[in-house]
Amino acid sequence: AQSVAQPEDQVNVAEGNPLTVKCTYSVSGNPYLFWYVQYPNRGLQFLLKYITGDNLVKGSYGFEAEFNKSQTSFHLKKPSALVSDSALYFCAVRDGDNFNKFYFGSGTKLNVKP
């Protein structure tokens, strides 16, 4: 069975500081991993994905994520946080047996303080 875990319900960071939002995964085959962001009362916006290749994936709005196979992690990072980054972040993994299925983590609320 496929699953992702986001161990932190909330992350607080000061504007200008680096941020990390954690995600670990469990898959039976190759991992296909995604990060999405959701602003209040909005749909999910795609940030980035890892399918294969370089372990450091660059995405939208200055975000990047590092795929670590040995630690089964796919943490989201940004070198310098903005107040406008405050939102709900979801990690997701595609089911390797049924690509139509996404499994979402529980979400992490990112608060960036001025």
CA separation for the pair 67, 85 (Å, rounded):
21
Upper half-sphere CA count for residue 111 (Cβ side, 13 Å): 6
Q: Is 75 a residue that touches another protein (CB under 8 A)?
A: no
Residue 34 vs 78, nearer CB to another protein: 34
Q: What minimum distance in Å lies between the beta carbon of 101 and another protein?
A: 6
Q: Are 54 and 68 in contact (CB under 8 A)?
A: no
Question: Which region, judged by CB under 8 A, interacts with another protein, from 17-25, 65-73, 79-87, 95-103?
Answer: 95-103
CA separation for the pair 106, 51 (Å, rounded):
21
Binding residues for another protein, per CB under 8 A? 32, 34, 36, 41-46, 49, 51, 88, 90, 94, 98-102, 104-107, 109
